[in-house]
Amino acid sequence: QVQVVESGGGSVQAGGSLRLSCTTSGYTTSAYCMGWFRQAPGKEREGVGDIDSDGSIAYADSVKGRFTISKDNAKNTLYLQMNSLKPEDTAMYYCATEAWWGPVFGRCRFGYWGQGTQVTVSS
């Protein structure tokens, strides 16, 4: 059974940094697309960025140059380094992995989702 668990959220001031981690089990991270998403209160879930099985990475325009996605296949872990955080980055952040079911965001279809980790940025 695939499990996806996010960690690393918290509260920071604008301009600060956080690093989110997404640990998976029962899943070969090297073989599939993985992604980060976020959802702010009253808003739809949006893609932050994803990394495909070939290692190519795509980011949402709103986070380009500030956020960095990386992956450690040996640890089955996906990371999201967030720098220069803004109050508008405040949201619940989710990690998801590719499956043949589920919604399509960008290049991939994501079927396994974690419970999310809260990121709050104060001005």
Write the pLDDT tens digit of every residue in 75-85. Answer: 999 999 999 99
Instruction: Report the SS3 class of residue 38.
Output: strand
pLDDT at 26: 82
For residue 29 the two structure tokens come to: 């991270």
Q: Secondary structure of the chain: what % helix, strand, coil (to 5)?
A: 5, 55, 40
Instruction: Answer yes or no: are the C-beta atoms of 42 and 54 closer than 8 Å.
Output: no
pLDDT in tens, 10-43: 999 999 999 999 999 887 766 789 999 999 999 9
If one compares 102 and 21, the residue with the highest pLDDT of the two is: 21
